A = this chain, B = another copy of it.
Amino acid sequence: MTVDVKEVQEKLSVNNYKMTSQRKLILKIIMNNEGKHLSAEEIYAKVKEANPGIGLATVYRTLELFSELGVIHQLNFDDNCRRYELDHGEDHHHHLICVKCGEITEFNDYILEEFEEDIEKEHNFIVSDHRIKFYGYCGNCQ
């Protein structure tokens, strides 16, 4: 379930998109910063280090495109900007959010299988994805 450039290239071409140098760079930035949950602006800053000519609009467009293709997905940590991380499909994780310092910790998801089935039956709803956030106090902030 690890994402690699080749796989994304495939996804792009299947959908008649091209792997441009800008898109490749943005992808690499995201891959090299797993667990950092970068925002568009933060990605833009890093992207400019490698290619100062790149435009902010391209970053936003690429993030939108990668989201559509399921390469990445958006996160919301209540800090009024969207954040992004690679979409690892099945073996995904969720987040602990420290309400004091804002630190984000990841934890693996493994418990919701049977719960999903209950939900599907009880509400006639076909679950395709889910997201869990725990709020509380990290080690430093207790």
**Residues in A lying within 8 Å of B, measured CB to CB:** 74, 76, 78, 96, 98-99, 105, 107, 111-112, 115-116, 119, 122-139, 142
Contact = CB atoms under 8 A, between A and B. Distances in A.
Contact of A136 (B105, B126, B139): B126
A135 B127 contact: yes
Given A78-B76, A96-B123, A123-B96, A133 B134 contact: no
B128 A137 contact: yes
B123 A129 contact: no
A107 B123 contact: yes
Contacts of A142: 124, 126
15 contacts: A76-B78, A96-B119, A96-B125, A96-B127, A107-B123, A124-B138, A124-B139, A125-B134, A125-B136, A126-B137, A126-B142, A127-B136, A128-B135, A130-B134, A131-B132
Contacts of A76: 76, 78
A100 to B, nearest CB: 10
Contact of A129 (B126, B127, B136): B136
Given A135-B131, A136-B126, A111 B115 contact: yes
